[in-house]
Amino acid sequence: MTLSEIQERALKLSVKERRQLIITLTRSVQPLKRSVDKPEGLAASLIGIAKTSEPSPTDEEVKAILDERLVRKYL
């Protein structure tokens, strides 16, 4: 059955049946929506600040990193 056939059949349903169909379809999409959300909380905010074995970047390296990020963002 194609999408257009489903739409045609849905319009032939009673108002009560269409409301139930809306509720069912909305519930079927909600789990997908939740899985896309970013993680929240303290642990998520701490990602990337852990100590590494490498030395911290110099001021010049930080400036180059920021410049590169801006170029990628706006080009």
Task: List per-block mean pLDDT (blocks of 10 residues) for the chain, which spans 75 residues.
Answer: 93 95 88 60 74 85 91 85
Alpha-carbon span 7 to 18, nearest angstrom? 11
pLDDT of residue 50: 75
Alpha-carbon span 51 to 45, nearest angstrom? 15
pLDDT of residue 19: 94
pLDDT of residue 59: 92
Residues 18-34: pLDDT tens digits?
Answer: 999 999 998 888 765 55
pLDDT of residue 22: 93
